[in-house]
Amino acid sequence: DTAVSQTPKYLVTQMGNDKSIKCEQNLGHDTMYWYKQDSKKFLKIMFSYNNKELIINETVPNRFSPKSPDKAHLNLHINSLELGDSAVYFCASSHALVNYEQFFGPGTRLTVL
Protein backbone atom coordinates (compact mmCIF):
# COMPACT_ATOMS: atom_id res chain seq x y z
CA ASP A 1 0.00 0.00 0.00
CA THR A 2 1.22 3.48 -0.85
CA ALA A 3 2.11 5.43 2.29
CA VAL A 4 1.51 8.93 0.93
CA SER A 5 -0.58 9.23 -2.22
CA GLN A 6 -1.47 12.22 -4.35
CA THR A 7 -4.01 12.72 -7.09
CA PRO A 8 -3.77 13.61 -9.85
CA LYS A 9 -0.21 12.85 -10.93
CA TYR A 10 -0.44 15.32 -13.80
CA LEU A 11 -2.64 18.39 -14.07
CA VAL A 12 -2.77 20.62 -17.13
CA THR A 13 -5.05 23.62 -17.00
CA GLN A 14 -5.61 27.14 -18.28
CA MET A 15 -4.73 30.37 -16.54
CA GLY A 16 -7.50 31.64 -14.31
CA ASN A 17 -8.93 28.23 -13.49
CA ASP A 18 -9.38 26.80 -10.01
CA LYS A 19 -7.96 23.36 -9.24
CA SER A 20 -7.37 21.00 -6.34
CA ILE A 21 -4.76 18.40 -5.54
CA LYS A 22 -5.58 15.67 -3.06
CA CYS A 23 -3.22 14.01 -0.59
CA GLU A 24 -3.79 11.06 1.67
CA GLN A 25 -1.48 9.27 4.09
CA ASN A 26 -2.07 5.90 5.74
CA LEU A 27 0.84 6.07 8.19
CA GLY A 28 -1.09 7.41 11.15
CA HIS A 29 1.00 10.58 11.13
CA ASP A 30 -0.20 13.73 12.83
CA THR A 31 1.45 16.34 10.60
CA MET A 32 1.12 16.85 6.85
CA TYR A 33 2.89 19.25 4.51
CA TRP A 34 2.81 20.73 1.04
CA TYR A 35 6.04 21.56 -0.80
CA LYS A 36 6.56 23.25 -4.15
CA GLN A 37 9.42 22.20 -6.43
CA ASP A 38 10.17 24.72 -9.14
CA SER A 39 11.71 24.16 -12.56
CA LYS A 40 15.19 24.37 -11.06
CA LYS A 41 14.33 21.57 -8.63
CA PHE A 42 14.30 23.90 -5.63
CA LEU A 43 12.00 22.63 -2.87
CA LYS A 44 10.19 25.00 -0.58
CA ILE A 45 7.66 24.43 2.18
CA MET A 46 4.23 25.92 1.56
CA PHE A 47 2.06 24.68 4.41
CA SER A 48 1.91 22.19 7.19
CA TYR A 49 -1.00 20.98 9.28
CA ASN A 50 -0.73 19.47 12.72
CA ASN A 51 -3.90 18.06 14.26
CA LYS A 52 -6.01 20.11 11.86
CA GLU A 53 -4.32 23.36 12.72
CA LEU A 54 -2.12 25.29 10.33
CA ILE A 55 1.27 25.71 11.93
CA ILE A 56 3.33 26.98 9.02
CA ASN A 57 2.27 29.38 6.35
CA GLU A 58 5.18 30.69 4.31
CA THR A 59 4.89 33.66 1.96
CA VAL A 60 2.43 31.86 -0.25
CA PRO A 61 -0.26 33.77 -2.15
CA ASN A 62 -3.68 33.49 -0.59
CA ARG A 63 -4.86 31.91 -3.84
CA PHE A 64 -3.45 28.74 -2.31
CA SER A 65 -5.43 27.23 0.53
CA PRO A 66 -4.85 23.93 2.32
CA LYS A 67 -7.86 22.02 3.55
CA SER A 68 -7.67 19.11 5.96
CA PRO A 69 -10.94 17.18 6.42
CA ASP A 70 -9.20 14.78 8.81
CA LYS A 71 -5.73 13.80 10.00
CA ALA A 72 -5.15 11.52 7.02
CA HIS A 73 -5.86 14.10 4.32
CA LEU A 74 -4.45 17.47 3.33
CA ASN A 75 -5.78 18.85 0.07
CA LEU A 76 -4.41 21.86 -1.77
CA HIS A 77 -6.82 24.25 -3.46
CA ILE A 78 -5.52 26.81 -5.92
CA ASN A 79 -7.68 29.64 -7.23
CA SER A 80 -7.09 31.81 -10.29
CA LEU A 81 -4.11 29.83 -11.52
CA GLU A 82 -1.17 31.76 -12.94
CA LEU A 83 1.67 30.71 -15.24
CA GLY A 84 4.11 30.91 -12.33
CA ASP A 85 2.18 28.26 -10.45
CA SER A 86 3.53 25.64 -12.84
CA ALA A 87 5.65 23.32 -10.70
CA VAL A 88 5.67 19.93 -9.04
CA TYR A 89 3.78 19.88 -5.77
CA PHE A 90 4.70 17.31 -3.14
CA CYS A 91 2.68 16.26 -0.16
CA ALA A 92 4.48 14.82 2.86
CA SER A 93 3.65 13.58 6.33
CA SER A 94 5.42 12.91 9.59
CA HIS A 95 4.85 12.07 13.21
CA ALA A 96 6.12 15.35 14.56
CA LEU A 97 7.41 14.18 17.90
CA VAL A 98 8.83 10.82 16.88
CA ASN A 99 11.73 10.61 14.48
CA TYR A 100 11.07 13.75 12.44
CA GLU A 101 11.29 11.86 9.16
CA GLN A 102 8.96 13.21 6.52
CA PHE A 103 7.53 10.76 4.00
CA PHE A 104 6.84 12.22 0.58
CA GLY A 105 4.19 11.48 -1.98
CA PRO A 106 5.03 10.94 -5.67
CA GLY A 107 4.24 14.53 -6.61
CA THR A 108 1.72 16.30 -8.85
CA ARG A 109 3.08 18.05 -11.91
CA LEU A 110 0.96 21.14 -12.51
CA THR A 111 1.20 22.89 -15.85
CA VAL A 112 -0.62 26.16 -16.34
CA LEU A 113 -1.07 27.22 -19.98
The footprint of another protein (CB under 8 A) covers: 4, 31, 33, 35, 40-45, 48, 50, 55-56, 90, 92, 94, 96, 99-107
Choose between 31 and 75: whose C-beta lies nearer to another protein. 31
Q: What is the maximal distance between C-alpha atoms in the chain?
A: 42
Choose between 44 and 67: whose C-beta lies nearer to another protein. 44
Choose between 4 and 81: whose C-beta lies nearer to another protein. 4
Cα–Cα distance measured from residue 18 to residue 104, given in angstroms and rounded to the nearest whole number: 24
Q: Which of 3, 65, 71, 72 is nearest to 34 (CA)?
A: 65
Region of 79 on the Ramachandran plot (φ > 0 left; ψ -120 to 50 alpha; else beta): beta
Choose between 83 and 97: whose C-beta lies nearer to another protein. 97
| Distances, alpha carbon 84 to alpha carbons 11, 24, 93, 97, in Å | 14, 26, 25, 35
- For residue 82, the tally of other CB atoms under 10 A from its CB is 12
Kindly state the smallest distance separating residue 100's Cβ from another protein, in Å: 6
Kindly state the smallest distance separating residue 63's Cβ from another protein, in Å: 21
Kindly state the smallest distance separating residue 3's Cβ from another protein, in Å: 10
Kindly state the smallest distance separating residue 70's Cβ from another protein, in Å: 19
